[in-house]
Copies of this chain bind each other. A is one copy, B any other.
Amino acid sequence: MYRLYLAGPDVFLPEPLAAGKAKKALCALYGFEGVYPLDAVLDLDGLAGPQAAQRIALANEAAMRSCHAAIANMTPFRGPGMDGGTAYEMGFMRALGRPVFGYTTHPDLFADRTRQFCAGPVRQRQDGYFEDVDGLLIEDFGLADNLMMAIAANESGIPIAVGDGPLRDTGPFEDCLRMAQRVLSGKPFTNA
């Protein structure tokens, strides 16, 4: 059975284990095994913050290596862009050559969200692009997030699934599961 790594800021939700359980149940419905970052049972007792973090991060990396593909929740998180840890995991899986399916529950494009986020007036340059009050470019390629993550998701074979709801909305997540069925069914099964 194909294993899907479930990347996303869902681990920060008020009920992170329930959120993972719901996603794993949906994976099973589509014939996949969902692998959630909080699945690993780690003994963090008595560890200082950085040591606990190391154990978690290395466990997540091992979980990713054990998966055939990933589904990334690219919904904006505390700022105009997606959660950084999820972006990291998209790059990790992509470097391993494994498909990364992406979804977001926010319908606006990255450039529009960034313009709204920036404090102070944004300014349009002669080349048509916008910059913020510090002169920093506002990336604008008509994509849902920074081009590295957006293109990684698109290169999975099917564009980012876009919804319009809260972070925990599983509608576009299910779109990704259908994508995963189409893309992975064309591949012979091998152990990750």
Write the residues of chain A forming the contact surface with B, with a CB cutoff of 8 angstroms. 9, 11-14, 16, 48-50, 52-54, 56-58, 60-61, 64, 78-85, 87-96, 114, 117-118, 131, 134-137, 139-143, 145-152, 154-155, 167
Contact = CB atoms under 8 A, between A and B. Distances in A.
B146 A83 contact: yes
Contacts of A117: 78-79
A147 B48 contact: no
B53 A14 contact: no
A137 B79 contact: no
Nearest to A136: B12
Given A53-B151, A91-B92, A92-B91, A82 B85 contact: no
Contacts of A60: 148
A78 B14 contact: no
B54 A84 contact: no
